[in-house]
Structure formats: structure tokens, C-alpha cells
Amino acid sequence: MKKRTDCLEALGHTCTAMGSERVTLLFSELEALNLGSLHGNQVIAKPKSVEDVQICVRAAGATGCSISVVGGNHSGFGKSGDLVLEMCYFTSVRMADIAAVAATDASRESALLSIGAGVKLQDLSIQAKQLGLVVPLGTAPTVGLGLVLQGGVGHLTRQLGLAIDAIRSVQLVTATGEVLDVSQTNEREEKEQGKQKDRPWTEKLSQVGQEESLTDLHWALRGCAPNFGVVTSITLQAAPFRHCNTVRKVFEIGEPPSRAGCLRDYMAWSSKLPMDCSADCCLYFKDKTAYSSGNPTANILMGIYTFDFGSGAPDVELPTRPALLWEIFREQQDISELMEHEPYLCEQPEGIVHEGFLSKRGFFVRALFFHKEAEIHTELIESISSAPTQHCYFHLQHMGGAVSDQKDSAFLAREAEWSVVISGVWQSQDDSFATEALACKTWVMQVVEQLLPKSLGSYATDLGPDDQHLARYSFGHKTSLLLELKKKWDPDNLFRHGFPLASLSKGYD
């Protein structure tokens, strides 16, 4: 068997032989693609075209090297491959259908946006607004399309569905270097002809032809896309632009006996909101000086953040009457402005979880989905009280509404009312805080294991190659079809640095 360094050297020479002057220049900032272009134990490429991506993928396949893709660069697994593709040149956002350029609401209802794989969510929201449009996204400004391709929970989710529900087509470079435009065309034609099947996970991968196979692939790409190739662009269904009014209230939730009741009140109230309103919740520590790990009397704050896109959200109803510390009302914000004020990123009072986007923090995050009837308030309060650092927090992202309306995708937790994000956060990312980092990771996984039996599944977007156990809860009964598709489209598992789909084959054969 070849040594890994030999494979990497061969990868460099193979790409050079297959490419042109243009391809040579796109690899990092080096003069030529050869052994000198190795960055540590990797080759890093910055393709400028779909053809460049094809050359890179074919070269990796020919030399037995793995591939990972960097979009927003938030995932810790993006730079894990032997060949790392940084998609920083794929940043275009344009109308995909020229007819929708007209400024009428009717045309905007059917507008499609073509989006490059290197676009960040805040930039996308800004460019969509300039076109009089909005698309459902996540909430973090600098996250890329990796989130959109695996779910995408945001403030428009209850009204427009998940980000994957807006995907109409995906341009994909497969493991063989083939370029595919995978769209809903086949599904739409089947529905019009009355031939659409009760799909998708109960049937094995069809062998009747390319069109049927692409229909299955389109289903898989909406939820598990990074496992099947390099996405170079997607087309999203857009909606007419709308503003949002926000109300942010932060409560001190008192002594331990009443805390679980406060969280229960929030969950009962928020689950009854209209579909054009949502309300997130954050649990975190009040201040750093009073914190000590495992201290049940440590002061805990509960922030409730209401996002109203139309009908008028009712005031927060908490029968337990916790102490209101402060309240902020903001009118007529757009999605980009919401990202600038995301509470879990930059607006926590007193305790200051993150101290802005530039703070040096280490993070370990896992997320689970829960039905509106889930009784988890007691476990969450007990768990946050045992957090190993004062920077750890829980974020309940509000779902429900339109999420349950669209079922024909790989995404599992359609009945979820909340995505509960469990974040272990430590002071710094350098090696001097290794003990804190380990404690935070251990705590997060302990909380996950405690809550998992009550959950609807785990969120695939945070999982990596070592998360096989938790990964089994991401796609559930849909896993068998995903594995069939993985065998067809990536039999050598080139795309293995992320959600560990191929490793789940045991028990699904």
C-alpha cells in the first residue's frame, strides 16, 4: 500500500498533468502544483470554475486521496481531506429565471435564485434583499451552504420551511468527476401525470434509468448532500421580501425549584404562535464571578427572542412570573440585520457568552430535535446547572409550522418543534485550555445521551467521522436508501470527512 505522502505527491503531479496554467495557479498561493504545494499533509485547492473542480476530483480519485470541501469554514471537518477544496471563488448570487426579474409580487412568488457554493448566509440575505426577495436560511452570518444542504433552521422556518425545502436544483460534481444538474423535474412530471410514488425510503434504489436515479439523488441531496459529491451551486425558491419586528426579553429564572417551570412556560407559549412568528430561547449564566461548576444556585438567565414577520406575536406568557431584567424592541429588520443581532452570537447581557464575533472561544456543539409535547424542561435546567464553564449555554431554535408540510427529502425530524443546540464553550482555542475543552466536550455528550431517548433525532450538520453512534439517529429509517445511493454515487467513499454515512452500513445491509 502506498504511503499517504506518496499519494499526496501523486495527487499534485496528476492535477498538474490534467490541468492548465489556470488550474496550476488556483492551488493555494503557490507557483506550481507539485510536491512544494503540499500544506502539511494536504493539498489545498481554490477552484475558480466547475471544470477546475472536475480536474481536482478526478485527480483525487485516480490517486486514492480523500476530498473535503470548505464553504463557510465553520465545520471542523472541512479541512480534513487529503485534497481540500476551498470554494471561495464560487460567490455569485443571481436570478435563475429571467422572467421573475419584474418587480411584481406575483413574479417574486415564483422567483428562483442561483447561488454559488462559496456564498455566506449573510451575504446571500443581503443580495436577496436587493432583488426584493428572501430565502429561508440558518441564523449565523458567516456559515456557508453546508448548513443549507443539511437542514437550515432559521427565523423563517415556521413560515417557509427549512432551507433544504427551498432547494429546487443542485449542481453536483460526482466522485467520477461528472457534472450533474439534479432537480425536481422528474418529481414534478410524475406528480402532474399522477404517477408519483409513495416514497422515498421504503424502496431500494431503482435501476430503471438515469432519470429515476437522479430523482432519488435529489431526495438525498436535501439533507445529506456533502456525502455525494462537491456541490458547486444550488437553486433556491425565494419569497417576496418581508421585514421582521423583534422583541427580546431576558429573565432571571430564580431558584432551582421554579426554573424548570419557567422553561416549561416558554415551551407551552411558543408552540402556539402563528406560523409567521417564532420565538427562540437561550439558557446561560448571569455573570462570571458567581459561577462555579455544578452549583445549582448559580444565577441562570433565560432569554426569549420573538421574531414577528406579519401577524403580530402575542406578548410572552410566563405564569411562573420570573424577574424581567431587560427588554429591547426593534422594528422593520431584515434577515441580514437579524444575523447582526443574533443573541447567541453577540447580545447576551452581563454574562457575555461570546463577546462579539471576534472573541477567542472554543466550541463543541451538538443538536437534537424535539416534538412540541416533549417533557425536557427539567433535564435542560439540571444540565445547564452542571456545565463545566460559565460560557456554556443551550439554544432552543423554534421550528414547527411549515417544517411538517414537506416530507420528501432525507431530513428526518419533520415533526420537530425545537432544535435544541447544546454548546460547550471554553475560554480559548489554544492548547493551554485543553482540560476545559475536554470537560466541555464530555458535558455536551452527556447531555445528548440523557436527552436522546426523548428526541426525534440528531442534527447531521454538526457530526463528523467519529460520531457513528449519534449519526444513527440523524436519518433513522431513511438510512437504508441513503446507503444504497452512497454505494452508487461514491463507492470508494471519497467524501468521508463529515457525516459518517458509509460507516452506518452495518445493520442496514
Q: Reading across the β-sheet that carries 179-183, which strands appear in turn?
A: 93-95, 112-116, 230-237, 167-173, 179-183
pLDDT in tens, the chain (509 residues): 355 555 656 665 555 554 443 433 333 333 333 333 444 567 888 898 999 999 899 989 988 889 999 987 777 777 788 888 999 999 999 988 644 444 444 455 679 999 999 999 999 999 999 999 999 998 888 888 989 999 999 999 999 999 999 999 999 999 999 999 998 764 444 444 444 444 433 333 444 455 667 899 999 999 999 999 999 999 999 999 999 999 999 999 988 788 999 999 999 999 999 999 999 999 988 865 556 666 666 788 999 999 999 878 899 999 999 999 889 898 998 888 888 777 766 544 444 444 544 456 788 999 999 999 999 999 999 999 899 988 899 999 999 999 998 778 999 999 999 999 999 988 776 676 888 899 999 999 999 999 999 999 999 999 999 999 999 999 999 999 999 999 999 999 999 999 999 999 865 44
**Residue 366's closest CA among 463, 240, 276, 290?**
463
Distance CA 108, CA 124 (A): 16
Q: Which residues lie below 8 Å from residue 192, measured CB to CB, with a gap of 6+?
A: none
Write b or e for each residue in 8-40: b if 16 or more Cβ atoms lie within 10 A of its Cβ, otherwise e: bbbbbebbbeebeeebbbbbbebeebeeebbee
Q: Which amino acid is at 492?
A: D
Distance CA 63, CA 16 (A): 13
Runs of H (alpha helix) within 376-504: 377-385, 434-451, 468-475, 479-489
Q: Which residues lie below 8 Å from residue 409, measured CB to CB, with a gap of 6+?
A: 164, 165, 219, 222, 223
Q: CATH for 93-240?
A: 3.30.465.10
Distance CA 387, CA 443 (A): 7
Contact 217, 266 (CB under 8 A): no
- Please list the residues that pair with 150 across neighbouring strands: none
What radius of gyration, in Å, describes the C-alpha atoms of the chain? 23
Q: Which amino acid is at 250?
A: V
Q: For domain 244-462, give its CATH number from 3.30.230.10, 3.40.462.20, 3.40.50.2300, 3.40.50.9100.
A: 3.40.462.20
- Please list the residues that pair with 70 across neighbouring strands: 86
What angle do the packed helices 377-385 and 256-270 form, to 10 degrees?
Answer: 130
CB atoms within 10 A of CB 351: 18
Q: Which amino acid is at 24?
A: T
Contact 113, 128 (CB under 8 A): yes
Residue with cell 481540500: 84
Contact 186, 214 (CB under 8 A): yes
SS3 36: helix
- CA separation, residue 49 to residues 45, 89, 330, 341 (Å): 12, 8, 42, 35
Model-wide pTM > 0.85: yes
Cell reading at 86: 476551498
Distance CA 25, CA 31 (A): 6
Q: Which amino acid is at 496?
A: R
What angle do the packed helices 210-224 and 185-192 form, to 10 degrees?
Answer: 120
